[in-house]
Structure formats: C-alpha cells, structure tokens
Amino acid sequence: MIKILKITFAFVLLGLVLSCSQVLQTVDLKVDTEDVSSQEEFNVIEKTLTIKEARSQRNAPYVRQVLRNGRGKNAQPIQEKVALLSDFPKYEAPNKYRIGIGDTITFSRLIENLRPPSEVAKKWPTQKSISNYKLGIGDTLALTIIKQVQPVNSITQSTSEDGQTTLVIPPPQPAIDETINSTGRIGSDGSVLLLEVGRLEANGKSLNELRSEVRNILIRNGVIPRFQLEIVDFKSQKSYLTMNSRSQVIILVDQKITIRDILASASVGVKPGIITRIRLQRGGEEFYISLRDLYGFDVNNIDIQSNDHIFVEDSSANMRVTSSIVDHEGDIVFESIGKVRAAGLTLSELIENIENIHQLVPGSQNAFQIQISNFASQKALLSIQGKPGVLVPITDTPAKVSEVLTQSGLSIDGNQITQISLQRGGKTYVFNLGDLLKPNSPDVYIQPNDRITTAILPYKANKVFILGAVSPQIFKINPANRETLADVLFTNGGPLSASSAKRSETYLLRGNDPVVAYHLDAQSPTRLIVADAMELRPNDILYVAEQPIMSFNRTLATILPLRILLRDIQDENIP
C-alpha cells in the first residue's frame, strides 16, 4: 500500500512540474488561420567546390549598396550601380561675361612724360664760385667772451693792546678770467642782440665780417678781444627738392653741398628701364639733365644755392586708377569720362565705348585699361553636405564645376560615393564625383543661378551569415580586402573552431534563383587551398553541419532528468 502511495505521489509531483513549465513558456501569437500562404521555397543546386570553380567565382559581381540620406522613401539603401549613374548636362561653351548691377569697374589711365632726351641734355648751368655763407633772418649766433676781472681788495682795521687802530691793506691780487656766453637769433629786422657787444646788424653779412665788428666793439670798450663767434643754428637759406609727388625742404649750411649730395641723401638712384630727369629752377630759369648724364664724368656737379628748386621726374607711368560700381540703373562714372552705360555689355564693348569719348592728354601715350575688379552681379549656390552653403561668384574666367568642388575640399573616397546634383534652367542633372574627374568626362562650366548640391553616400557594410554548428553569426567583409572562405572558417569563434562542427559538410550558399550550394569537405588540410581561393560575396551564407552525436546528446540532455526520476521511483528512492 505504501508503494502505491509513493507512485501516486510521484506522478502528482511530475504533473505539477509539467504544469509549471506551461507558466514559463512564452505567450503564443494567434494568427488568422485563413492565411493559407506558405513560406517561399528556393531551388538549391549543390556543386562541389574545386580550384577551377573557386577561381571562376572571382569574376562574380561584388554587389554592394550605398546608404542614401533623405526623408520618407528617399532614405533607403540603393544599389551601387544606380548611385554610379551620371547624367551630365549638354556641353555649352562658356559665354563672354556681361557686366551687371553691383560689379566694380576699374579705370586705369597711364600718363607719361615724353620730353625728348635731346631737349633735356641741351641746358645745364656751369659751376660758379660761391662766396662765404651770408647770415640771414632766422640764423642763431653764439658768442663766447673771456674777460679779465680784477678782484676787489678789502681794507680791514686792526686794534692794538694800547687801543690804537691801524688800517690793514692786503697786497694786490692778480686778475682772473671770466667766461661770458650769450646766444641770439637774427630777427626780422636783420639784427641780433649779444651780451657785451649790444645789437649788431647781421643780415647779409658773412661770419668773418661780423667777427670783425665784435672785435672792434670789444677793443673800443677796453676789453681784450678774446672771443668766439659761431653759427649754432642755420635757418635763413633753403633749397627745395620734389620727387614726383613728394617734396622736402633742404636747409643750407656754411659748408658747400652739391646736387649729387642732395640726390644721394634722398636715395635717388638710377632705376633699370626707367629714365629719370632732373629739372633745376634757379633765378627764373630752368635747367634739364638726365640722371644718368648727371652722374657722368664730364658733367658739372654744381653747388646748391639758396632758393634752388630741384625736381626729380621719372618717365615711368603715372598711373591714375579710379573705380566705379555699376549702380541700379546700370551706369558707371569715371573722371574725364563721365557717365557711361555698362550693364549688359561685355568688357570689350565697354572699352570700345570709352575709347570713343576718351579725352587725350597732351604729351602722353593716352593708354588706359578697363577691368572688372569685383564680380558681384552673378552668382551660383554651392551646398556641400556637412558644410554651410556658399555663393560662388561668376567671373570673366570660366570656372568648371570640378574645379570649384575640389577647391572646396571634395575628393574621391573608396568608402563612399559623392553624388552631385546640378539644378539649371528648371532641370536637374545628377552625376558622381568620380565620373566628373575622369580625363574624358565632359567639361561642365558653372553658369549664373546654378544650384549645386553634394550628397555623401557611404557604403552599407558587407557581411556573410554563418549558421550550423555554432551560434548564428555575422562576418563582415570588405571589397578592398577580398576575404575568402578560409578567412571566415578560421576566424576566432568561427565554424571550424566548434567541436560540434561536421567539417565534411561545409556549404557556401550563393544566389537566390537558384541558390547554389558549394560543398567543401574540410576534413583534409589540403582542401583548405580551395577555401583560400574562393572569394566571399555580400550576403553569402556559410553553413557547417553539426555532428549527429551532438543532436543525440541534446536529446539525452532533455530526457535525462525524466529517466532519473523514473529510476528513483522504481528504486523507491523518493523520500
């Protein structure tokens, strides 16, 4: 009776365990049983993988996809061959640039001094002896006099013991020298005031003449004429130097200064390819000489006199440059030209119009140049993915789309496709950067109002699926590396690393209609040469069968707890 109760208890306990397993199961999804559609079946063809077959499969297409950004249905992977299609606009030769509102036009005018050299070389003054420096208004004089002064002897009184007072007279002292310094500037009346000599008329006199007057005055005053009179500041005599558009004043001193000294101190030298003329105004006359002739051995190096005016004139172009912006009415304004219509004209047409109204300058070549210094009227829009959009100015130098893109930093990258979209005249042209940069690609020039956008299409990661004796895995492959079947078989945690793998049943599945299953018996190490020759392709499926004993072991692992329970019941080992 006790045995029957134990058996009954065991079955009840087993029922409770089985009922608990129902609680641990996942929730089932109830589907419409009227859906009679069946899972699609594929036709599988088995082929033995040989060296010949592996090498022939190297020419199999490497189908890749790129990821396209966007919104809605545009955000989806697309085939690589679709992304590589290029639709270029019809070739159009660049047109001549037409000036528009906002452009800046620069007018450059050349004015030259074309005086014949023969006329220049005819006149040049001869050297004349110049008298000593004549004092004038503004000069400052310094007078130093050494004057003897007799010291004063003081008489003192001395009182003796008997009360008598005696006068004490010291012996005479020798005279001492006293230095007297004074300075004075020659005023507007031509006189100067100096200590010990008084006011002197100095204008127009030489320093020696004024020294003689000072000597006579000192002698007349009973003073030994020991003195020194010098000019400490020269202000009265001047000459002038003008170099092209710059002028300066040259103060003359009591030392002689030549015209070569003046030019050398002003850094005036001979310039290659330029004729420099020296013009001297003196006493109402003009003298001419070229700078090269002035430095010759047989030319007088004349001394500069007061009120001389020296002009240094280069024969190089005196370029007058003015600029004008095309206003809202399409006009520009230039000096000596006036108001001119510019909008809608080419540069050559504008030059022809200005030539007809240009006023000639006597003694000049009357050469001028018209240029567009700032292009602001015509633009194109460039938008590069990941960067702010920029406006590309249209200039008189035609620019290619390829040049603008490469200058903006775009380059060919094997890991992505750069797709370019060009909107022009209501049409959109799509092409890729690789085709655009090919040597035989058509030249696409930027035109006004073009809209150029770029999109970076990265490649979708390529992969191979691994199934069978191991847990399902994904093995990534790269078209640049060209991974083979051997790479995936021997990867860390790969199919052959599992002890449950049946190496003789290794299959590589490729294609979909039909599916080709390449069979490889990987038990022999020599056949791994075939695996190394077989390149993988995206979405290949690698299947390695499992050892039959492993399936049996899993079955045993499932039923073993039940067998142990039954054995314990039979042996009455249930407590």
Where in 375-488 does DSSP place strands (E)?
Answer: 379-383, 390-393, 416-424, 427-432, 451-458, 462-468, 473-477
Chain centroid to Cα 489, Å, comes to 52
pLDDT of amino acid 76: 82
Confidence of residue 163 (pLDDT cuts 50, 70, 90): low
Q: What is the dihedral of CA 25, 31, 36, 40, to 10 degrees?
A: -60
Confidence of residue 23 (pLDDT cuts 50, 70, 90): very low
Strands 44-48 and 515-520: parallel
pLDDT of amino acid 317: 59
Weakest mean pLDDT among 89-98, 294-303, 517-526 = 294-303
Q: What is the dihedral of CA 129, 132, 136, 139, to 10 degrees?
A: 130
Work out the mean pLDDT of the chain and round it to a whole number. 81
Residues 6+ apart with CB under 8 A from 385: 453, 454, 455, 456
The yes-or-no verdict on residue 381 having pLDDT over 90 is yes
Weakest mean pLDDT among 15-29, 61-75, 502-516 = 15-29
At 112-158, the pLDDT tens digits run 665 544 444 447 777 776 678 889 999 999 988 888 766 666 666 66
Mean pLDDT of 207-211: 89
The yes-or-no verdict on residue 452 having pLDDT over 50 is yes
Mean pLDDT of 49-69: 88
The CA-based diameter of the chain, rounded to the nearest angstrom, is 181
DSSP bridge pairs for 432: 419
Q: In angstroms, what CA-CA distances link 557 with 24, 487, 530, 568?
A: 19, 34, 38, 18
Mean pLDDT of 161-176: 66
More confident residue, 299 or 51: 51
At 397-408, the pLDDT tens digits run 999 999 999 988
Residues 6+ apart with CB under 8 A from 393: 375, 376, 378, 379
Mean pLDDT of 3-30: 54
At 308-346, the pLDDT tens digits run 898 887 776 567 889 999 999 999 998 878 899 999 999
Residues 6+ apart with CB under 8 A from 439: none
**pTM for the full model?**
0.54
> Using CA atoms, how far apart are residues 297 and 292, in angstroms rounded to an integer?
11
Mean pLDDT of 564-572: 54
- The amino acid sitting at 487 is D
The yes-or-no verdict on residue 370 having pLDDT over 60 is yes
Task: Pinpoint the alpha helices (H) of 358-399.
Answer: none
At 471-525, the pLDDT tens digits run 888 899 888 889 999 888 888 877 877 777 788 888 999 988 788 999 988 888 8
Residues 6+ apart with CB under 8 A from 574: 6, 9, 10, 568
Mean pLDDT of 207-219: 89
- Judge whether 218 and 210 are in contact, CB under 8 Å: no
Mean pLDDT of 225-238: 89
Residue ranges of domains in the chain, CATH in brackets: 44-64+461-551 (3.10.560.10), 72-95+378-458 (3.10.20), 104-112+318-374 (3.30.1950), 121-129+238-314 (3.10.560), 140-233 (3.30.1950)
Burial class (CB in 10 A: 0-12, 13-18, 19+), 417: buried
Mean pLDDT of 262-270: 83
pLDDT of amino acid 536: 92
The yes-or-no verdict on residue 162 having pLDDT over 50 is yes
